[in-house]
């Protein structure tokens, strides 16, 4: 069955495969279009795009941006943005702040008696942005913990002794920035985020879609988010959130969505571009 996958992590954040390897696996799985959506960074997109072109695959530029709002974390997927200087520098700032956050988390970890250096993570980990998964994997490699899941349940869990929230940006500002870059803003994995009460406000602030078709959503959740999307005039998208071995889906192709979702994503992009071109054109005064 062909299909698309609009949510994949590469080794430019906390995924296992390089963008080129992802493209190879997508091709093998018979998927025809895919996106790479690393955490707060678009540094892996050019490699993915080149590999997609070589393999005859359709590529959708993407990124997954973390925000912290009203004491809850949300992940916003952006698609089809242009890599404008303004959008790139926003992401660069978030990546830099993630690095500072990682240093602070490591300082906390060391205060608890471990021996960990940011260099250990930079050497073996991500080629782009750093997150808890990179810290967890390095700790396991160094024999400081038996598993990453033990760390995500202990030290690194939200509210845990080494946890520090991600850098954030106000949701409305983020939606505006995505639109200014010509991108489409989608709320990732709402079923895992569990703050459905925020969706109405996000829609009012400019959110374009929700990821109704997510690898962990059960059928009633999909139906629920499809209904919410209709209510707030949002599109629905989907993806596997593939990171690599160790959690479902452990292989690309195990979860895919219908190609038709790409049509509504492109339709939304067109609306955003039309609005953008109107804003950009100065009014011609008569006389
Ligand atoms: P961060 O953005 O640094 O707070 O890290 C969040 C990322 O860590 C998520 O996007 C997941 O990829 C990963 N993650 C979260 N919870 C777990 C878990 N229980 N086990 C493994 N990875 C996790
Ligand atoms: Fe992740
Ligand atoms: Fe996410
Ligand atoms: Zn993700």
The CA 75 to ligand 4 mean position distance, Å, reads: 8
Residue nearest to atom 20 of ligand 1 (CA): 149
DSSP the chain: ---EE--B--TTTT-SS-HHHHHHHHHHHT--EEEE--BT--TTHHHHHHHHHHHT-EEEEEEEEEEEETTEEEEEEEES----HHHHHHHHHHHHHHHHHHHHHHHHHHHTT----HHHHHHHS-SS---HHHHHHHHHHTTS-S-HHHHHHTTTSTTSTT--PPP---HHHHHHHHHHTT-EEEE--HHHH--GGGHHHHHHHT--EEEEEETT--HHHHHHHHHHHHHTT-EEEEE--B-STTSSS-STTSS-B-THHHHHHHHHHHHHHHHHHHHHSPPPPP-
Predicted TM-score (pTM) of the model is 0.95
pLDDT (0 to 100) of residue 7: 98
166 Cβ neighbours under 8 A, 6+ residues apart = 40, 66, 67, 68, 73, 98, 101, 131
2, pLDDT greater than 90: no
pLDDT digits (tens, 9 = 90+) for 14-47: 999 999 999 999 999 999 999 999 999 999 999 9
Mean pLDDT of 75-86: 98
Ligand 1 atom with the shortest distance to the CA of 165: 4
Mean model confidence pLDDT for the chain? 95
Q: Domain ranges in the chain?
A: 4-92+166-280
123, pLDDT greater than 90: no
218, pLDDT greater than 80: yes
Mean pLDDT of 187-193: 97
Determine whether the shortest distance from the Cβ of 14 to ligand 1 is under 6 A: yes
CA angle 199, 205, 211 (to 5 degrees): 40
Residue nearest to atom 14 of ligand 1 (CA): 133
Overall CATH class of domain 4-92+166-280: alpha beta
Q: Which long-range contacts (CB under 8 A, 24 or more apart) does 98-107 make?
A: 98/39, 98/40, 98/129, 98/130, 98/131, 98/166, 98/167, 99/130, 101/164, 101/165, 101/166, 101/167, 102/130, 102/131, 102/134, 102/135, 104/164, 105/132, 105/135, 105/156, 105/162, 105/163, 105/164, 106/135
Ligand 1 atom with the shortest distance to the CA of 135: 3
In which region does residue 148 sit, left (phi positive, over 0), alpha (psi from -120 to 50) or beta (all else)?
A: alpha
The CA 172 to ligand 2 mean position distance, Å, reads: 23
Residue nearest to atom 16 of ligand 1 (CA): 152
Q: Binning pLDDT at 50, 70 and 90, where does residue 247 land?
A: confident
Q: How many Cβ atoms are within 10 Å of 113's Cβ, its own excluded? A: 7
The CA 188 to ligand 3 mean position distance, Å, reads: 6
């Amino acid at each position: 069955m062909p299909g698309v996958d609009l949510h994949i992590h590469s080794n430019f954040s906390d995924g296992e495969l390089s963008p080129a390897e992802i493209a190879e696996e997508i091709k093998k799985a018979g998927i025809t279009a895919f996106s790479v959506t690393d955490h707060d960074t678009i540094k892996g997109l050019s490699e993915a795009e080149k590999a997609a072109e070589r393999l005859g695959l359709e590529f959708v530029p993407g990124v997954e941006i973390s925000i912290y709002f009203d004491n809850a974390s949300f992940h916003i997927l952006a698609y089809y943005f242009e890599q404008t200087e303004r959008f790139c520098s926003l992401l660069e700032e978030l990546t830099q702040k993630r690095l500072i956050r990682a240093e602070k988390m490591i300082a906390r970890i060391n205060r608890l008696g471990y021996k960990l250096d940011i260099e250990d993570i930079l050497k073996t980990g991500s080629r782009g942005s750093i997150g808890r998964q990179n810290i967890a994997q390095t700790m396991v490699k160094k024999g400081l913990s038996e598993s990453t899941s033990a760390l995500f349940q202990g030290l690194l869990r939200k509210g845990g002794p080494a946890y520090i929230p991600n850098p954030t940006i106000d949701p409305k500002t983020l939606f505006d920035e995505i639109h200014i870059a010509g991108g489409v803003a989608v709320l990732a994995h709402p079923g895992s985020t569990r703050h459905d009460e925020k969706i109405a406000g996000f829609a009012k602030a400019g959110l374009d879609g929700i990821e109704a078709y997510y690898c962990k959503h059960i059928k009633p959740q999909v139906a629920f988010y499809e209904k919410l999307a209709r209510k707030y005039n949002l599109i629905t998208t989907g993806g596997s959130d593939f990171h690599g071995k160790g959690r479902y889906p452990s292989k690309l192709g195990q979860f895919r969505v219908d190609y038709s979702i790409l049509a509504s994503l492109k339709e939304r992009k067109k609306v955003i571009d039309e609005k953008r071109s109107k804003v950009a054109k100065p009014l011609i005064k008569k006389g």
